[in-house]
Chains A and B, each alone.
Chain A
Amino acid sequence: MLKKLFGGLTTPRIQYIPLEGRLPEPINIPLPPQVTLILDGAADGKNAILPKIGDAVKTGQKLTLVAGGDAYAISPATGTISGVAPFRGEAGQVGTAITINTSKAEDPDDQFAAAAQEPTLDSAAGFLAGVPGCPPLKLFGDPDKPIHTIVINGADRDLLVATHQCVVQSRIDAIAHGIAVLKKITGIEAVIMVVPVNIMGGYGSIGAEVKFIAPTYPSALPHMILKDVLGKVIPAGKAAEDLGVAMINAEAVASIGRAYETGKIPFQKLLTVIKKDGGKVLVSARIGTPIKEIVKTVGETVNEMDRVILGGPMMGVSIFTLDTPVRPDTDALMIQDKAGIPFVSDYPCINCGECIRICPARIPVNMLVRFLEAGQYQEAADLYDLYSCFECGLCSYVCVSRMPIFQYIRLAKFELGRIETAEVTNV
């Protein structure tokens, strides 16, 4: 837990703390007996679900819910499908969980190897959307939002996480190859890589312009990178791609580089495990590995009433079961002992102004939260800049009344989004 410093008239700043000393070798998590993949889309009666229980799958085989469907997952292992179940993710995300019983013998599927002879956007978008790092390859084919700049984020967005900085330091060749591939398949020449200012050196021939960002949270979030590095302000409620900028994290670029170099789709996801004592361990796990395997391998004990978080302390998502699989965008696993969990309270805002001082988006949080508490989401959006929020969580972190401000903001955006969806589909 970070404490506010005694003294200082200025706002306390929260720093990203880089990995110290020699880069640790990631601990390899052995192939678990079962892996679980999450596919977007519901497995309801309307969809003829293609993967059937008992089907044999090969390593690298493409799985879709319906024939020719957009959403797909690549099997990270060889084995047989043992379960297909509906999956509910964060904020009502609908998906289908496919469980595969793995076998020791790997039987590679060669569809990608055939497609990867010559790097094309089609082969990348058709096979690599689910590689470690989760590259947003869909952005490149969109005629409505032409992309002119690729920004590679070599910094970790959340505190304590070291995944992407570790990739930048240990797989710089794969990143360089990935940049070359990206340039070739997208035709975009403007590639910028941002790294934390405290990881210096060694980017000479990477093929991208290297820029540094401050080690102060939340400087590694897309909105702050665009503002600080490119001097562009993302309009409220929009994303980087609306300005023609595609944000890709370093691990995704390295995965793309590795895929075209070897002709094999990479499945090893690098994760930072943040233990109860605050210690960091890097692990390398196959996509789909249940969290319990990682907990077991790093020797951590998880007890009743502890908190298990996918992601870091500011923006992560807490999970309710250790069967939750590692997904392509799972950068960290954090385990909090029940003794160290700060609870939110139902106290009202006392108007102390701490959130105003710390908000990087200059939102009048004290007024916003009063509207959100009353459920007046549309007023909050119209009058008090709900959509300027880029969700760093600092307001909740400093709140003297311990209000769940960040949760209120996410809920408000979710509810307004539902209204919008309903209006669009009713027309």
Chain B
Amino acid sequence: MFNQKKFIVSHAPFWHDESKVSIRYYNILLATLPAVLFGIIQYGMPALAVVSLSVSSAIFWELLMNRATKRPVTITDGNAALIGMLFAMLLPASSPWWLVITGTFVAIVVGKHIYGGIGANPFNPALVAIAILTLSWKGFMNFDQALLNFNFDFNMAYPLAAVKRIGSAAAASFSAGDLLLGRQSGGLGATFGLGLILGGLYLILRGFIRWEISFSFLAAIFITALVFHLTNSGRFAGPVFHLLTGNTILGAFFLATEDSSSPVNFIPMLIYGAGAGVLIMLIRNIGGHADGVVFAILLMNLANPLLDKIRPKALGKVNSHA
């Protein structure tokens, strides 16, 4: 009896599609690379320093929290690295080291681990960090001020701030091609629209992000911007300008689609994306901030649990109110 072979006994199913948390997050990291590498080439060493410090300090905070909460070490799953990467992409390339380390602390500790770690965060951690830094150190997060010392062969005025100041006439000095190819001021990984779109399409095709959110997000920005533009074309810039400036594309493919803070049912995903898109245009056109992506997505994160209650009726569900 005792020398008989021991088998592995476990519950069905006995197959798995071989997906894995780490595969998912490493692929999203991979998809950020075109835009990040472009930013590093454009801004040089300062950008490389910000990205490296952001990713490494995010992993460090994760390790510290794993140790402090006496839970398994999860730094290899790629989630902390991804949060650090997305946080860096939103920063100006000139950000000082202490800003980066404070930001990743807020992202990992306040944005993620306080709520119980991966899968439990109600807000996108990178956006929580950016929002708090924006409110705390306005000057460092203002692209016109922060990037004052960088001079390239294109208009270095932050497009959204320029439009906010002088109306849609300012948009004329930015061609759509230039904006798409990253010839604009902004976050170090948020300006290269083409690279972000390629990365986003890769993630959608591989099924790592939910296309419904990206689609409704972009569609809502386009429609809302168009409505504003048609109402007052002197004051409000056109939809293409808004799609290609600020953090729009980064938001559509990488920020709004964060797993735990976004809905999973079909209709809620559409509402969530569209709600964020509409809020962004409201903030940009009549709100107090130049770009509204960060706050709009955070607001929709807040609505996510409520939105996700809209769901299809389960098979054979019996109405219990009777």
A315 and B12 contact, Cβ closer than 8 Å, known pairs A9-B204, A362-B314, A388-B314: yes
Contact with A along B20-64 (1 / 0, CB 8 A): 110010000000000000000000000000000000000000000
Whether B119 and A341, one on each chain, are in contact in the complex, defined by CB atoms closer than 8 angstroms, is no
Contact of A235 among B14, B313, B316 (CB under 8 A): B316
Main secondary structure of the interface of B (DSSP, over half): loop
- Give A314 to B12 CA distance when docked, in angstroms: 6
Contact with B along A395-414 (1 / 0, CB 8 A): 01111111010110010000
A92 at the interface (CB under 8 A from B): no
Whether B12 and A352, one on each chain, are in contact in the complex, defined by CB atoms closer than 8 angstroms, is no
Whether A4 and B314, one on each chain, are in contact in the complex, defined by CB atoms closer than 8 angstroms, is no
CB distance from B211 to the nearest CB of A (A): 6
Whether A304 and B6, one on each chain, are in contact in the complex, defined by CB atoms closer than 8 angstroms, is yes
Whether B314 and A316, one on each chain, are in contact in the complex, defined by CB atoms closer than 8 angstroms, is no
A342 and B16 contact, Cβ closer than 8 Å, known pairs A305-B8, A364-B265: yes
B311 at the interface (CB under 8 A from A): yes
In the assembled complex, which residues on chain B have CB atoms less than 8 Å from the CB atom of A398?
17, 19
Whether B206 and A6, one on each chain, are in contact in the complex, defined by CB atoms closer than 8 angstroms, is yes
- Give A8 to B8 CA distance when docked, in angstroms: 35
A227 at the interface (CB under 8 A from B): yes
B219 at the interface (CB under 8 A from A): no
B98 at the interface (CB under 8 A from A): no
B10 at the interface (CB under 8 A from A): yes
In the assembled complex, which residues on chain B have CB atoms less than 8 Å from the CB atom of A387?
316
Q: Closest B-chain residue to A232, C-beta based?
A: B316
Q: Closest B-chain residue to A356, C-beta based?
A: B264
A319 at the interface (CB under 8 A from B): yes
- Give A317 to B21 CA distance when docked, in angstroms: 27
Whether B314 and A2, one on each chain, are in contact in the complex, defined by CB atoms closer than 8 angstroms, is no
A336 at the interface (CB under 8 A from B): yes
Whether A318 and B316, one on each chain, are in contact in the complex, defined by CB atoms closer than 8 angstroms, is no
B260 at the interface (CB under 8 A from A): yes
A4 and B18 contact, Cβ closer than 8 Å, known pairs A318-B8, A348-B117: yes
Contact with B along A288-332 (1 / 0, CB 8 A): 000000000000001111111101011111111110000000000
Q: Mark out the residues of chain A between 370 and 392 whose CB falls within 8 Å of any chain B CB in the assembled complex.
A: 382, 385, 387-388, 390
B322 at the interface (CB under 8 A from A): no
Whether B315 and A361, one on each chain, are in contact in the complex, defined by CB atoms closer than 8 angstroms, is yes
In the assembled complex, which residues on chain A have CB atoms less than 8 Å from the CB atom of B19?
4, 354, 398-400
CB distance from B276 to the nearest CB of A (A): 17
A1 at the interface (CB under 8 A from B): yes
B286 at the interface (CB under 8 A from A): no
B288 at the interface (CB under 8 A from A): no
CB distance from B11 to the nearest CB of A (A): 4
A308 and B7 contact, Cβ closer than 8 Å, known pairs A366-B264, A400-B20, A401-B21: yes
Whether A1 and B15, one on each chain, are in contact in the complex, defined by CB atoms closer than 8 angstroms, is yes
Contact with B along A342-358 (1 / 0, CB 8 A): 10101111111110100
CB distance from B75 to the nearest CB of A (A): 14
A-B contacts, 20 of them at CB < 8 A, read A233-B315, A305-B8, A307-B7, A308-B7, A315-B12, A318-B9, A320-B7, A322-B5, A341-B8, A347-B119, A350-B119, A350-B260, A352-B259, A361-B315, A388-B314, A388-B316, A388-B317, A396-B12, A399-B16, A401-B21
B-to-A contact residues, CB < 8 Å: 4-21, 24, 72, 116-120, 204-207, 210-211, 259-260, 262, 264-265, 308, 311-318, 320
